[in-house]
Amino acid sequence: MNTILMNQIMRTFNEGCASVVITRKSADSDMNKGRSAANRNPLYGHVEVEAKYSGFVMGTDYSNSVANTAQRMGEEVSRDDVRLRETWHKPCDGDYGKWFSTDKRTETKCYLKLQRNEQQIGFKVEKTYFVDGHEATAEELATIKAWLKKDCNEQSATQKELGIDKEHEQHFILVTLENILCIRQNERTLLPYEIAAYAAAVAV
């Protein structure tokens, strides 16, 4: 299924163009669980989050983007100078590498890479929370926000060393392929669940 969807994404959309990606997943990994029975997150295990990523681009090489940004700022930098820190993921093999990453440990999970920079116009992330299937009430939303983990807002040390200031910093995020509900780019739309249904039918 992953290969079918990956190929469809690469055939449907253009590299480096602003896109909209909508995902839905459990919010457990975004929230603190609580350390004791007396201090326990009452909504842990009950919350899903639907996220809409607007203005991000797909199919771009992060190292190239960082090097190009540094060059525009007057630095003599090549792609080989961009030393990425060790992480839990790595680019997929071959042509898939610009678009997708996989986990290093098992290489069974697949993630779509979304990239933006601080000066990019029109990018935003909108999140809607659901509790046991219904949209969170104001009271539930207040509880969710109180238990959310704090975002790290520090500038990338790698980009700082290459002479890139925070205003021009490049960012990328990974979204799990199976959590994607919809991808849109201009007039093109892809619904992964339709691809999954097709793959299942073909496999029978």
DSSP symbols for 140-176? HHHHHHHHBPPPP-PPPHHHHHTT--GGG-EEEEEEE
> Which tokens is 1 given?
């299924």
The pLDDT value recorded for residue 99 is 94
Average pLDDT by stretches of 10, the chain with 204 residues:
86 92 96 85 96 92 82 77 74 91 90 82 89 97 95 76 81 91 93 66 48
The pLDDT value recorded for residue 204 is 42
Eight-state DSSP code of residue 60: -
Length of the chain: 204
Residues near 202 by beta carbon (within 8 Å), at least 6 away in sequence: none
Q: How is the chain split into domains, by residue range?
A: 2-203
Q: Tell me the CA distances in angstroms from 86 to 50, 90, 93, 136, 171, one per residue in order.
A: 29, 9, 17, 37, 16
Q: What is the pLDDT of residues 68-116, one digit of tens each?
A: 888 887 777 777 777 666 688 888 998 899 999 999 988 889 999 999 8
Using alpha carbons, select from 13, 16, 7 the residue that is nearest to residue 177.
7
